[in-house]
Amino acid sequence: MNVKRGEIVELNIEKYAFEGRGIAKVEKGSIVPEAIDESKNKYVVFVDGSYPGDKVRAKLTKIKKSYAEARVTEIIKPSDLRVKARCKFFGTCGGCKQQDLDYSTQTKFKQQQVEEIFTKMGGFNDLAIEEILPSEKIFFYRNKMEFSFAEKRWLTEEEIKSGKKIEKDFALGLHIPKIYDKVLDIDECFLQSDYSNGILNLTRKFFKERNSSICSAENQEGFLRNLVIRQSHHSDDVMVNIVTSSENDELMNEYKSKLLEAIPQITTIVNNINLKKASVAVGDYEKVVYGNGFIYDTIGEYKFRISANSFFQTNTLQAEKLYQTALDFAELNGDEIVYDLYSGAGTISIFISTHCKEVYAFETVESAVNDAQENAILNNINNVHFISADLYKSFLPIVDERKLPKPDLIILDPPRSGMHKNTIEDVIKLSPEKIVYVSCNPTTQVRDIKSFCDSGYRLIKIKPVDMFPHTYHIENVALMMKNN
């Protein structure tokens, strides 16, 4: 059989691959005989929407010499690993990729994913791989949800088949994967809270009734951009942040009154005004419509002030486990000088502050540095020093200029893209005895760790921490020590 892209094939799923895809292995020559590497007896097909044990029909989307890609069109026989997804939007919405997979199996696959990245991609075999820390809550675990307004609504298959007349020019919800200009209009989500769903639905109704315009993805004209809801897990604080492209105080005050009348639990309302063309839920400036413009949450024994645009770990309960893992790996005795790179709002720095002598926290985003300084004051922490630094160039000149003491330990918590090579070189020059690397992307993490290990460090151990149930994302903590 010599099939082409777009054709349907029947496959048995044998293994699990990265990013939530199943793997089918077919006999050489059964799909595209002229494309097979002669040294291999099996041809690999990566199948979106499948799990080990599934028998499926799948549409081929890409055919290469050594592999093919496909997506499920029909499940002929479901895997025993499958469960019924709780959300009616699952499969269309891009938020949860694995809600139909048993949670214990999700964590098992994530553990395997991290192990394979480090042993096969990284080539590390002489290290300890600790057991994954599962999430305490698998629903209603997020403290932040970001929804988008769109003037083009994505219709589900059920809506199309219903034959009903559906309004298509107003949506508030979540983007469909790889579709930048259409949004799935949702009325419930099980990732944050019932409060969040109430705010979402009231906001949609309020602005639709007033015929408010939506900022177009094409020409960037229109008023409404995003709705961002932040909620504390350890207090009753709830923030509503409405992101618009201009000011309208009269409308915002009316919106405030309707919100508070229906949901009095809301403690603050903020209007971020984004004047840029970029479709981001961050304003050039903000106006506080109600309350003080902040919420407060705790990690461990520490309290943190969270503004509308602050970075704060999305799963509060798991954040404490993540930071405790980093602290356990560090094995501090109280006398160390610690550098915390990509320190954000100061959460890790403050969390470890009583276990070491001094912490010097470096962060690129100025507003995050301001938040961190406020959080240190809030917790009466005096041994943490927050410093603005461009971690995409070099922070060593700041260390030299201020005559900062050399670090015994450096903690790294970069974005998904990993570290810039200049920052890696700076860390190597500082030559700390230990490096603890916290990452939300093990693939870029192992790339960076290989650079450290090529320059005098050895990888001791790693431990995955699941921050995002029902997704294929995984955090990982790694400990490196300098070779003596």
Mean pLDDT of 242-260: 97
Name the CATH superfamily housing domain 108-137+315-482: Vaccinia Virus protein VP39 (3.40.50.150)
What is the pLDDT confidence band of residue 35, given thresholds at 50, 70 and 90?
A: very low
- With a CB cutoff of 8 Å and minimum separation 6, the contacts of 250 are none
Q: What is the pLDDT of residue 333?
A: 96
Task: Please state the separation of Cα 58 from the chain's center in Å.
Answer: 29
Q: What is the pLDDT of residue 164?
A: 78
44 token code pair? 């690999």
57 token code pair? 């029909």
- How many angstroms separate the CA atoms of 323 and 263, rounded? 33
Q: Which ranges in the chain are annotated with CATH 3.40.50.150?
A: 108-137+315-482
For 108-122, 152-166, 453-467, which range has the lowest pLDDT when averaged over its residues?
152-166
Helix (H) or strand (E) holding 430: helix 421-430
Q: What is the mean pLDDT of the chain?
A: 92
Can you list the positions of beta strands (E) in 168-267? 171-175, 183-185, 224-231, 238-244
Give me the DSSP letters along 1-48. ----TT-EEEEE--EEEGGGEEEEEEETTSS-GGGS-TT-SEEEEEEE
Q: Is the pLDDT reported for residue 129 higher than 80?
A: yes
DSSP state of 354: G
Q: What is the pLDDT of residue 223?
A: 94
- With a CB cutoff of 8 Å and minimum separation 6, the contacts of 316 are 143, 232, 233, 234, 297, 298, 299
- How many angstroms separate the CA atoms of 308 and 303, rounded? 16
Place of tokens 């055919």: 63
Class of domain 144-299: mainly beta
Mean pLDDT of 98-114: 95
- How many angstroms separate the CA atoms of 19 and 199, rounded? 31
Q: What is the pLDDT of residue 36?
A: 47
199 token code pair? 């705010």
What are the tens digits of pLDDT across the range 211-244? 999 998 777 789 999 999 999 999 999 999 999 9
Return the sign of the alpha-carbon dihedral for residues 36, 37, 41, 44: negative
For 33-42, 106-115, 309-318, which range has the lowest pLDDT when averaged over its residues?
33-42
Strand partners, 296: 305
212 token code pair? 């408010």
- How many angstroms separate the CA atoms of 320 and 311, rounded? 15
- 189 given a catalytic annotation: no
For 33-42, 353-362, 376-385, 467-476, which range has the lowest pLDDT when averaged over its residues?
33-42
Q: Is the pLDDT reported for residue 371 higher than 80?
A: yes
For 61-65, 126-130, 238-242, which range has the lowest pLDDT when averaged over its residues?
61-65
Q: Are strands 15-17 and 67-77 parallel, antiparallel or unpaired?
A: unpaired
Q: Which ranges in the chain are annotated with CATH 2.40.50.1070?
A: 144-299
Picking from 406, 403, 412, the residue whose alpha carbon sits closest to that of residue 440 is 412
Q: How far apart, in Å, do the first and last CA atoms of the chain sit? A: 59
Q: Is the pLDDT reported for residue 67 higher than 60?
A: yes
Q: Is the pLDDT reported for residue 90 higher than 80?
A: yes
State what percent of residues in the chain have pLDDT above 90.
Answer: 77
- Find out whether 124 and 118 touch, Cβ atoms under 8 Å: yes
What is the pLDDT confidence band of residue 73, given thresholds at 50, 70 and 90?
A: very high
State what percent of residues in the chain have pLDDT above 70.
Answer: 96
Mean pLDDT of 45-71: 93
Q: Is the pLDDT reported for residue 133 higher than 90?
A: yes
Q: Indicate the burial class of 373 (C-beta count within 10 angstroms; 0-12, 13-18, 19 or more).
A: middle
What are the tens digits of pLDDT across the range 422-467? 999 999 999 999 999 999 999 999 999 999 999 999 999 999 999 9
Q: What is the pLDDT of residue 283?
A: 80
For 66-80, 88-102, 274-288, which range has the lowest pLDDT when averaged over its residues?
274-288
Catalytic pick among 87, 96, 356, 440: 440
Mean pLDDT of 58-69: 91
For 24-38, 230-244, 386-400, which range has the lowest pLDDT when averaged over its residues?
24-38
Mean pLDDT of 7-16: 93
Put the strands of the sheet holding 55-63 in their side by side order.
8-12, 55-63, 67-77, 42-48, 21-27, 15-17
Q: Does domain 8-82 have CATH number 2.40.50.140?
A: yes
Q: Which ranges in the chain are annotated with CATH 2.40.50.140?
A: 8-82
Q: What is the pLDDT of residue 237?
A: 96
Q: Is the pLDDT reported for residue 32 higher than 80?
A: no
Q: What is the pLDDT of residue 460?
A: 98
- Find out whether 444 and 417 touch, Cβ atoms under 8 Å: yes
